[in-house]
Structure 1
């Protein structure tokens, strides 16, 4: 995707105001849809408003506009082109169409797709779907749904839309024995009965079981009891549920109040922190009266918020309230409305701001810091009931009632007055806005612009300022950077697990002799490492990395049968943090006859890329070796192993089976928890820990999968894994539109990189010092941790300072980076706090919502580069930010 940087806001419209010069004719315009839906002809009379008809549609195509020429479609139609042509007879316009390329997503569940299966298709194409492969499984067909209800063998000509295809597998085996599997609801009713072959993991194919809610509780389906295992006999599985008390708790959403007031009034107040509130609106046509009842506030919270209001706003003694714009705000205690409760809250009230033209100009003069704006923007006579709406940072909508005998004619006269003042028609902005835009130049770096839309009863004037020196071309998208794995190959001739590609990864369950695994351990490990989001309740290691990498890393974990150690727990514990390798040596040698270790050296450097060992003892961070880590064989007992099937053993993960039994607060239907293994796999690919060893919360405040196991991998992680391609911004001013990092699907246009030196990125790697900017929304992979205090529950812009420079001398499997995230300064990655209060690192404070930029301007010049000099970068937010915003727009200035 391209990040189009322009000096205006793109606002779509279909209304053209045509002011003809010296033509006294009318003519018809004929629309030729070229295969699209029929568009009726229209007649245009000189001097009147031309209302363009709705665009045609065509299955499988995107409408590309109207054109004058039929053959080459090279002369686009526009309002100005209609005036420029010497049209004396009827005009013909021809539709241009562009084929839509639909995306195909293959859900392989650990399989390997056939190389000739297409990744996309168009309406004109026919594709016969070929069979994928998977070790120890037989392909049972492609399906359109995860429940395997709708089979599909080909994508036929005429098909439409992005599609997901699900591979169905059956275990490879010769047994023909079958057993009855009964799926039963909690009340004893039978949901489904299946006849299933021995050796198959049974699958429930019906609708999700439900339990009727009560007056006080709702119920979420959690899974089955007993746990579902591979078929070896007749079995009944009973649905289990988790109860949830009914309440009104939900994170505060500013849009509930902002929508009532018509602008972002909450941005002008201290941050409102609550998860249990309701908004009451008692407004009418002329008066706004809004109450926010906050059920989880105590008296101390109300007093603290009052103190913040004192710091931010002016207090009006007459109203006994603080002043916020045109309105008043106060704190109240309600002990009457809710029986038995004392509820604190926030009240906001005031007359609906209906302005005179002079009053409106006064507001704009203050906001634009332009004392002579009244001479630049003359009054539109007859406009009444004026209201002013701030559309974005520097764009306003002036709305009012307007009922003249001929609105079109009067607006035409007003535009003529503007031209006499010095306004000029701007063809470029008109094309982008799809409206007739006029500009008034103040200086080389300040221009005002406006356009007007109207109907029979109302008018809106859009008015804004911009800097004409803002770069209009697209920012450069950086090519994929060198990965840590590629750096290792380049520097040492060998590496660990690659972060891009499709790989099988070996997982060995290690049963400590006196601590056996549960009977369903293989089923749970298969779910944890290879399961789908639906099957796990959140993500498996494989599904997480497939999503986080935008499909660039597709891992299939091959889980062996368990190895049982020769000794009890105490033997390995007596060796403390070296004890893991004694068990590992046993397991690798004990399973040597069953495993082809050479299969796991994908880059053929002589090393097994990685091995994951899951031990059966409960984890304990205070007693080694019963914790989780990634380490190298060269530093312990495993260095005694020579080769395994001709390959050397080196890098490995060691983690407890009990980690998959951990809860996840945000996920009520969790089956297994993969987050610890996901974190450790980041180390297998060469990335470092981002938490602090000296503070509870380090310089990213817990906000990263490599910090507190929370959410997604951050932008530095993805950059060094070869997944993220940020936009490159060097000296200049840019209007940037970024997509939400949280729901990005391709790694492009979701981050901006600002290097310390513009030349730093020419060497193809990202082992440098720079800033990374992303737009966070509480969605995607972050949603599983959204109730944790270190994952923000509201959207905002996050600014990272990165110093990923390498040490001058490095050794294989050793530390490569100059900096880490320990201590109080000189970090590899830190979040530059928008509130600049240095709250992280901290002994008790995670990342705060105020550390994210949500409105206004953030000037970073008070921050310094490690290599010297101030960060002369500023970010001015243009968009109103909501939790579900797909994009954010801001002006980025680098000087």
Structure 2
């Protein structure tokens, strides 16, 4: 029998059968009948060949059930063993078996009840007409394939494929209004807020920004809510989500050690020292100060860059070969000897120590305290020599000197007795607080001087300060998030532009003007400019800037299309002047219509594309339209001819040159791309106005704002109206306030104080009113990229803004909403109240000056007036010594 059959060896690999024949000559074919599936070619076997089965066929709506020998019943499956049982010299026919796929149907009913005859599944052969569900107090408005209600559906047709979700759309029947419970919950399960909200309303969380406790290795930034917040259609729980950030266990430069040596904030007079690996060496003696800061993470380029900054800020002394800083000298050095194998760059500061007499010290204090008779309040401690004066905080000083008496303790005791004869009293409460014996001298009900004395065998320090006993520590209310400009538009007009809170995709279309091509790497550079990291760009991208500026409340992803090349040359669009941009825009939108789903960019479902950014290839020129940058609306030009794009109307847009990303940034030596112009214009897309002046080189903010000279960060009004900032509210009273640095604030809370014109102005939930905003500025954070520009201060201080953001009585969508702007010489929407009160801004040539910031002493604002009438009876007395890297500032705020 063996000789009458072919000897076969089968190797089965996956779905492949490999037949190796030996022995007698043989040849046969296998014919494959796919029965409606994809074509499978016949195979023929000749002696000595390897027989490999072909890939399985496919068929829409079916799964392949295998090959079978019989066509009618498909009951005899093909397999290796079945082939062995046949005489393979005979040609074979195999038939495909198919099994129908049953697809699942998911109904999203939003509280409704599905019709009992609607199917839960279907196959490719079935047709189902969808029946209407029901819901109490609602009228069914149709089934849709998507939650955005963009694609209606009435039946599942024969030939349909895949699992589907169907969304029921409802409208109120007009006879009732449903309300639902919205719960805002922290990640740990604790309830932050519970709201009862009407159906059809977008719920808003009004509490403090959720926080997650830091660990030893990570901090956490609030990112938003899960699931995404949507219009109310039923009870819903939203859970706070966070992004983890690894803690940098290295320590940034702390100026306090150097400042203590010199007795004042000398570091504030220098450019910001950026390092996380340094040591301070003090070789000073009683008459000479000599301090070195060895900086281990500086390269030669860092040392050169810092020298350049010193050149910009300080005068160079050719004799000393150093820069002059106050009474001292500063220079940059390279130390290649002290640390074996290392080249360490550093900063040296040196100079003679100027010692004071008692009378000289009293003269300084009389000026600082504005107390001409201080010499009678603070009598001389006889025998104290080599006196130096150190300002510990805004109103606290340390008087240090050498003191070597036969019995220092006895002599100090006699001095305290003299103080008591003058009227000083022991203060038990302050003594407990300071852990020293504190004595106080009362001038009036709101002014008291205090001191305590520490000493050893060779020296004495007298701590002396003033305070107002009527002032209480701040317990100011933190304002809930205010209504945003975007929310105002929705409330007033039923439509809006780009929201300022949330996570969104934003469409960017590069428009190549026919005779001005983009460079070959344009897409790479645009991706960096709009979506890059701080490291990748050298400063910030549009996305990274807004994520930081908004404290994580605005997370933008820019979807950049391939370029559209216009039909005409530059001259065609230029001939249309400031209307020329919309001729190119209409071409681009229509030309890319088949490639872009425009409906994806209407997040608030108001029927408008939220915004589109057009980047054109021509170099910008502010004197020749349309080659500049602006934000505008389609309704005012040629683009009004566009009806809809994927069911959405086109309205808000940005128009800006590609060349803006090639601009330099003086403070950033390793800049790759510059996003600042696009950042400014995006502020307009969210509804905010320009803060620069059309009549002066510098307006009432002096250039100090991203919406003014494209500098630094968004100011406090901007962030308040974007829904990012929650200032403390101060009405009548005196408070001791501690503010965090606005520049490095991470959550928008406790970094600003708001003083309303009327205490009731804030109860309506918006900030479209007149008020003061106070912030503590340090030259850090997003401001650091512009720190050498003359309109961004290089030293820290308190900034006071007068805001009048009242709205016009009658407004229209995409019109001017505010009563005031920043043009002219008075009646501004935002102005900085100058601490020096010299009215230097607005100006034809002067930006914001350092003297316009409050750095010490008291600022009385009563000489300024409210637009609505009356003096601003507000005063600010600084309590802290302010450093460039101070995390906080303390001051007494009096509102009367």
Report the TM-score, using the length of structure 2 for normalisation: 0.61
Note if contact 1:601-1:608 (Cα within 8 Å) is conserved in structure 2: yes
Show CA shifts across 1:52-110 (max 9, x none): 99999999999999999999999999999999999999999999999999999999999
Q: Secondary structure at the match of 2:22?
A: coil
1:870 CA drift (Å): 1.8
1:173 CA drift (Å): 51
Q: Write the distance in 2 (CA, Å) between the matches of 1:633 and 1:206.
A: 37
Aligned to 1:201: 202
1:32 CA drift (Å): 85
Note if contact 1:25-1:88 (Cα within 8 Å) is conserved in structure 2: yes
Note if contact 2:395-2:880 (Cα within 8 Å) is conserved in structure 1: no
Show CA shifts across 1:399-434 (max 9, x none): 345678997898789879878987666565455545
Note if contact 2:395-2:878 (Cα within 8 Å) is conserved in structure 1: no
1:794 CA drift (Å): 2.3
Note if contact 1:15-1:435 (Cα within 8 Å) is conserved in structure 2: no
Q: Secondary structure at the match of 1:222?
A: strand
The alpha-carbon distance between structure 1 residues 183 and 23, as it changes in their structure 2 partners (threshold 3 A), is same
The alpha-carbon distance between structure 1 residues 347 and 130, as it changes in their structure 2 partners (threshold 3 A), is farther
Aligned to 1:861: 862
Query: Once structures 1 and 2 are overlaid, which stretch shifts more, 80-89 or 537-546?
Result: 80-89
The alpha-carbon distance between structure 1 residues 73 and 300, as it changes in their structure 2 partners (threshold 3 A), is farther
1:208 CA drift (Å): 38
Query: Once structures 1 and 2 are overlaid, which stretch shifts more, 793-802 or 611-620?
Result: 793-802
The alpha-carbon distance between structure 1 residues 63 and 585, as it changes in their structure 2 partners (threshold 3 A), is closer
Q: Write the distance in 2 (CA, Å) between the matches of 1:891 and 1:775.
A: 14
Q: Secondary structure at the match of 1:440?
A: strand
Show CA shifts across 1:220-245 (max 9, x none): 99999999999999999999999999
Query: Once structures 1 and 2 are overlaid, which stretch shifts more, 137-146 or 608-617?
Result: 137-146
Note if contact 1:394-1:465 (Cα within 8 Å) is conserved in structure 2: yes
Q: Secondary structure at the match of 1:2?
A: helix
Q: Write the distance in 2 (CA, Å) between the matches of 1:180 and 1:214.
A: 33
Query: Once structures 1 and 2 are overlaid, which stretch shifts more, 34-43 or 643-652?
Result: 34-43
Show CA shifts across 1:699-754 (max 9, x none): 11111111111111111111111111222222222333322222222222222222
Show CA shifts across 1:137-173 (max 9, x none): 9999999999999999999999999999999999999
The alpha-carbon distance between structure 1 residues 249 and 495, as it changes in their structure 2 partners (threshold 3 A), is closer
1:600 CA drift (Å): 1.1
Query: Once structures 1 and 2 are overlaid, which stretch shifts more, 534-543 or 63-72?
Result: 63-72
Aligned to 1:463: 464
Query: Once structures 1 and 2 are overlaid, which stretch shifts more, 470-479 or 431-440?
Result: 431-440
Aligned residues: 895
The alpha-carbon distance between structure 1 residues 520 and 58, as it changes in their structure 2 partners (threshold 3 A), is closer
Which protein shows a greater Rg?
2
Any unmatched runs of 5+ in structure 1?
Answer: none
1:892 CA drift (Å): 2.4
Note if contact 2:263-2:389 (Cα within 8 Å) is conserved in structure 1: no
Show CA shifts across 1:587-608 (max 9, x none): 2222222211111111111111
The alpha-carbon distance between structure 1 residues 296 and 450, as it changes in their structure 2 partners (threshold 3 A), is closer
The alpha-carbon distance between structure 1 residues 35 and 167, as it changes in their structure 2 partners (threshold 3 A), is same
Note if contact 1:5-1:474 (Cα within 8 Å) is conserved in structure 2: no
Show CA shifts across 1:302-322 (max 9, x none): 999999999999999999999
Q: Secondary structure at the match of 2:71?
A: coil
Q: Write the distance in 2 (CA, Å) between the matches of 1:310 and 1:435.
A: 45
1:202 CA drift (Å): 43
The alpha-carbon distance between structure 1 residues 656 and 154, as it changes in their structure 2 partners (threshold 3 A), is farther
Q: Secondary structure at the match of 1:20?
A: strand
Q: Write the distance in 2 (CA, Å) between the matches of 1:10 and 1:412.
A: 106
1:214 CA drift (Å): 45
Report the TM-score, using the length of structure 1 for normalisation: 0.61
Show CA shifts across 1:608-629 (max 9, x none): 1111111122222222211111
Note if contact 2:330-2:347 (Cα within 8 Å) is conserved in structure 1: yes
The alpha-carbon distance between structure 1 residues 517 and 174, as it changes in their structure 2 partners (threshold 3 A), is farther
Note if contact 1:13-1:435 (Cα within 8 Å) is conserved in structure 2: no
Q: RCO higher in 1 or 2 (8 Å CA, sep ≥ 6)?
A: 1
Q: Write the distance in 2 (CA, Å) between the matches of 1:164 and 1:21.
A: 57
Show CA shifts across 1:770-789 (max 9, x none): 11122222222112122222
1:676 CA drift (Å): 0.8
Q: Write the distance in 2 (CA, Å) between the matches of 1:650 and 1:401.
A: 75
Note if contact 1:202-1:230 (Cα within 8 Å) is conserved in structure 2: yes
1:471 CA drift (Å): 2.5
Q: Write the distance in 2 (CA, Å) between the matches of 1:432 and 1:687.
A: 47
1:465 CA drift (Å): 1.8
1:678 CA drift (Å): 0.5
Show CA shifts across 1:192-213 (max 9, x none): 9999999999999999999999
Aligned to 1:319: 320
The alpha-carbon distance between structure 1 residues 781 and 396, as it changes in their structure 2 partners (threshold 3 A), is same
1:387 CA drift (Å): 4.4
Q: Write the distance in 2 (CA, Å) between the matches of 1:860 and 1:274.
A: 39
The alpha-carbon distance between structure 1 residues 58 and 894, as it changes in their structure 2 partners (threshold 3 A), is farther
Query: Once structures 1 and 2 are overlaid, which stretch shifts more, 52-61 or 809-818?
Result: 52-61
1:881 CA drift (Å): 2.7
Q: Write the distance in 2 (CA, Å) between the matches of 1:6 and 1:855.
A: 103
Query: Once structures 1 and 2 are overlaid, which stretch shifts more, 351-360 or 758-767?
Result: 351-360
Q: Write the distance in 2 (CA, Å) between the matches of 1:519 and 1:793.
A: 39
Q: Write the distance in 2 (CA, Å) between the matches of 1:707 and 1:31.
A: 75
Query: Once structures 1 and 2 are overlaid, which stretch shifts more, 352-361 or 150-159?
Result: 150-159
The alpha-carbon distance between structure 1 residues 418 and 123, as it changes in their structure 2 partners (threshold 3 A), is farther
The alpha-carbon distance between structure 1 residues 865 and 707, as it changes in their structure 2 partners (threshold 3 A), is same
1:188 CA drift (Å): 58
Q: Secondary structure at the match of 1:585?
A: helix
Aligned to 1:673: 674
Q: Write the distance in 2 (CA, Å) between the matches of 1:844 and 1:26.
A: 98
**RMSD value over aligned CA atoms?**
30.5
1:877 CA drift (Å): 2.6
